[in-house]
Amino acid sequence: MKKIINLLLFLFTSLYISNISAQPQFPPDGEIYVKNVVPRVDIMIHPDSLAWIYENVESDHEFRAVFVFDNGTIHDTIQDIGFRLRGNTSRVSWKKSFKVSFNTFISGRKYYGVEKMNLNGEHNDPSVVRSRLYWDILRKSEIAGPRANHVQVYINGNYYGLYANIEHVDEEFAKTYFGNNNGNLYKCLYPADLRYLGSNPDLYKFTSGDHRTYELKTNEIADDYSDLAHFIDVLNNTPISQLACELEQVFNVQDYLKIAAIDILTANWDGYIYNKNNFYLYHNSATGLFEYIPYDTDNTFGIDWFNINWDTRSIYNWSNSNESRPLYTKLMQVPEYKAWFTYYIKQIINQITSTPDFLNSLPELQAQLDEYVANDPYYPLDYGYDINSFNTSFTDGTGAHVPIGIRPFILSRNSSAVSQAINTNAAPILKYITFNTPGTWQSMVVSSYAEDANLNSVSLEYRINGGAWQQTPMHDDGQNGDLMADDRIYTLSLTGMEGNTLIEFSIKATDNSQLTTIRPCSPIQYTIPSGNVYNLYINEFMASNSSTITDEIGEYDDWIELYNAGNSTIWLGDKYLTDNLSSPVKWALPDTTIAPGSFMLVWADGQTEQGLMHTNYKLDKDGEEIGLFDNEASGYTLLDAVTYELQSTDISKGRITDASVDWKFFNIPTPESTNSLVGIDVNTPTSVKIWPTLVNSGTIFISEKINFSIYDMQGRRLLQFRDCRQADVTALKQGIYVMVSESGWTSKIIVQ
């Protein structure tokens, strides 16, 4: 019986992963960003509205319109979308760029998981493909960046030309790629140089033109720039000898070094390094680290307005020499970072930009897009381009700001970068360190991404309760807790220990030259909780409430139900409730008590001004975490938690019986009262059904043909299926996985 209980507890608590540096997730292209065809986008808008848009080019006012999307497989019509101009210089060009918004007039609406589409005219680029090539390189490099393809755009039946369809960077992007969207997302435009202006966060709210240089796009009501100010302070004011350890506590350095390498290899001068422009910073709430996200990459692959030979410019002195660029120049002063940057330069050239697959994709793109450019009525208007300009641009310059063709630029940049690269052996790269938060006698699973051309070993260095340091090998062999062999994720499972045990650990990687990397600089500390000594539980919750129950002022808000399963009254004033397990003290419970056997409802509505029982966050219908933590004296011990996937409106999720281990969905929710034994086994927001959800035969069956992927609980896509009604999952090891369809439907499966 004890083994069964421990297994159930493991299945429950193993979902709670503490991410020191979580690996990004990569959604499939899906129907919107399909690349083997050029979909057609139709916009139907009142002629007067369209005329007003063209007469008021600086306005961001959105007009109602009808959107039609046809990629040869699907043909959808969406009413009441928002339509406006977007961009900067393109607003005064003949060929303008457009933004389509699906949620402006119908809140929360998405189309295949996206709320907005960016239709970019690419008027500067005679090839119309430079930005797409950049995003393709980023994706091949396993870095989070927008999906992209090309579409035909028609407005009121008139052909407006070939457009690049670029995924919009917003809170939905953050949720898709990083698994959370409650952190601060800053859109950084000229002159965003990341220089230190002072410790006052408000100093970074300065404007340039009609917008803030660091424009906060989420959490706008709070308008709190303290995280950005702290990051900039660490970047600028930490001595170089200490920068690596300090900066990696606030910034995803390793992934940025790869982005910097891509920027320089593609000559993305309109980004941060040269022009202090066009990037986002997202404060990833799962890791506490800022993520760097490039943006607007059409001025690449040799496009030039400064009379600079971008293909031969020094890879180590690539920034504007007359201005400060601390994020690039300071990192190049850290020997370890400079070596990693060099490693990435060589890796991208060897594995992507010099390969036949990549170089051969250029004429394939040219052939695919040729007819759509030839008929584009706006293509010639800005720079006098014609179809010959398009075809020439792949192999030669077209004059003026396009002195070199795409292919010769790539070949020249590859050659010069290799010749400039210092001859050094970089130490192994460690990133994406994760560990679960086990309870008493539950296994502790630690994972880390490790990379090196000649990697020899990866090991866990740890000690227990301050004892002697031990070293145990970690493996990437698909065994003993490692989910997939040869994915560069190394894993180790430590046997469960009793409560109040302190574990300290770090990851060590060594290559064949005996170069070593240890991360993080200071060992991670985790104390195994002694258990839920209060018998206080998260008992039921609803992440999408439209008609179930109202708060005290009549609003249908998300709610969380707490339950006291013990025999004593519990004071809540020193405990915390959060929607982010990496941020235990996000919201403090009020100075009140909960009696034995009683329930208490908390409104997760982000409206603290409405009362003591209203949190400073909302629950996310698409899935996130809820955690209940003890006081500071306990080290903020985790008392209870639940991680959930996509929820249906007015369907609650709760324990089958109050305080029990197993959870169900309830179509008859029971806020502030005992849970019913009657529930729904699987949350099915669409008509799709799967069986079995407890898999031991190696095959799962689906009620209708869908495109879907299977992810592990760390967000890594393991399997992908298209147009399937059954799937072979024998490759999956024992554990919990999530099925995600391209339309956003999700279901959990357990492999025995």
The residues spanned by each domain of the chain are 40-420, 427-516, 536-666, 690-751
For residues 211 and 190, the answer to whether their CB atoms sit within 8 Å is: no
26 or 350, which is more confident: 350
Of 87, 129, 657, 92, nearest to 391 by C-alpha is 129
Q: Please report which confidence band the pLDDT of residue 375 belongs to, taking 50, 70 and 90 as the band edges.
A: very high
Domain 427-516 and domain 536-666, same fold? Reply is yes
Q: CA separation (Å) from 546 to 175, 555, 614? A: 23, 9, 17
How many Å apart are CA 658 and CA 565, to the nearest integer?
8
- Tokens representing 698 are 């190696």
Q: Please report which confidence band the pLDDT of residue 656 belongs to, taking 50, 70 and 90 as the band edges.
A: confident
Of 122, 123, 119, nearest to 146 by C-alpha is 119
How many Å apart are CA 410 and CA 688, to the nearest integer?
46
pLDDT for residue 5: 30
How many Å apart are CA 142 and CA 138, to the nearest integer?
6
How many Å apart are CA 674 and CA 599, to the nearest integer?
8
647 residue type, one letter = Q
- Tokens representing 241 are 């000898």
pLDDT for residue 12: 34
Q: CA separation (Å) from 712 to 26, 479, 644? A: 13, 15, 14
What strands lie across the sheet with 638-643, from one edge to the other?
Answer: 576-578, 625-629, 638-643
Q: Within its chain, how far is the Cα of 438 from the centroid?
A: 25
Q: Please report which confidence band the pLDDT of residue 692 belongs to, taking 50, 70 and 90 as the band edges.
A: confident
Q: Which residue, chain included where needed, has tokens 């000690």? A: 463
Give the pLDDT confidence of 417-443 residue by residue, as tens digits. Answer: 999 999 989 999 999 999 887 877 778
- Tokens representing 651 are 């369907």
Q: Please report which confidence band the pLDDT of residue 743 belongs to, taking 50, 70 and 90 as the band edges.
A: low
Mean pLDDT check: name the lowest of 1-5, 23-27, 570-574, 682-686.
1-5
Give the pLDDT confidence of 553-578 residue by residue, as tens digits. Answer: 999 999 999 999 999 999 999 999 99
Q: CA separation (Å) from 123 to 88, 382, 383, 395, 679? A: 12, 7, 8, 19, 56
How many Å apart are CA 582 and CA 182, to the nearest integer?
12
pLDDT for residue 239: 98
Of 417, 271, 267, 424, nearest to 336 by C-alpha is 424
Give the pLDDT confidence of 173-224 residue by residue, as tens digits. Answer: 998 899 888 899 999 999 999 999 999 999 999 999 889 999 999 999 999 9
Q: Which of 4-13, 284-293, 678-687 has the highest mean pLDDT?
A: 284-293
CB neighbour burial string for 158-180, b if at least 16 within 10 angstroms, e if fewer = eebbbbbbbbbbbbbbbbbbbbb
For residues 341 and 413, the answer to whether their CB atoms sit within 8 Å is: no
Give the pLDDT confidence of 577-610 residue by residue, as tens digits. Answer: 999 887 899 999 999 999 999 999 999 999 999 9
10 or 366, which is more confident: 366
| pLDDT of 6 higher than 70 | no
How many Å apart are CA 593 and CA 587, to the nearest integer?
16
703 residue type, one letter = S
Q: Please report which confidence band the pLDDT of residue 23 belongs to, taking 50, 70 and 90 as the band edges.
A: confident
- Tokens representing 449 are 């991404």
Query: Which H helix or E strand runs over 163?
Result: strand 158-167
pLDDT for residue 677: 66
pLDDT for residue 693: 65
pLDDT for residue 82: 98
Q: Please report which confidence band the pLDDT of residue 20 belongs to, taking 50, 70 and 90 as the band edges.
A: low
For residues 206 and 189, the answer to whether their CB atoms sit within 8 Å is: no
Give the pLDDT confidence of 134-145 residue by residue, as tens digits. Answer: 999 999 999 999
Domain covering 427-516 in this structure, CATH number = 2.60.40.10
Q: Which of 549-553, 660-664, 682-686 has the highest mean pLDDT?
A: 549-553
pLDDT for residue 9: 33
Strands 40-44 and 148-155: what pairing? parallel
pLDDT for residue 706: 80
User: In the beta sheet, which residues pair with residue 594?
Assistant: 570
Of 596, 615, 620, 595, nearest to 605 by C-alpha is 615
pLDDT for residue 696: 67
Q: Please report which confidence band the pLDDT of residue 742 belongs to, taking 50, 70 and 90 as the band edges.
A: low
Q: Please report which confidence band the pLDDT of residue 684 belongs to, taking 50, 70 and 90 as the band edges.
A: very low
Domain covering 536-666 in this structure, CATH number = 2.60.40
pLDDT for residue 728: 81
Encode 295-343 in three state secondary structure. Answer: CCCCCCCCCCCCCCCCCCCCCCCCCCCCCCCHHHHHHHCCHHHHHHHHH
Mean pLDDT of the chain: 90
pLDDT for residue 14: 36
How many Å apart are CA 171 and CA 282, to the nearest integer?
9
Q: Report the pLDDT averaged over residues 119-132.
A: 97
Architecture of domain 690-751: Sandwich (2.60)
Mean pLDDT check: name the lowest of 287-291, 317-321, 483-487.
483-487
Q: Which residue, chain included where needed, has tokens 């065994």? A: 479
Give the pLDDT confidence of 621-639 residue by residue, as tens digits. Answer: 888 889 999 998 887 888 8
For residues 511 and 456, the answer to whether their CB atoms sit within 8 Å is: yes
Burial of 260 (0-12, 13-18, 19+ CB in 10 A): buried
Q: Report the pLDDT averaged over residues 706-720.
A: 73
How many Å apart are CA 424 and CA 427, to the nearest integer?
9
E-strand ranges in 495-623 read 502-511, 516-527, 536-542, 559-564, 570-571, 576-578, 593-594, 599-603
Q: Residue 633: phi, psi to the nearest 5?
A: -60, -30
Query: Which H helix or E strand runs over 257?
Result: helix 253-266
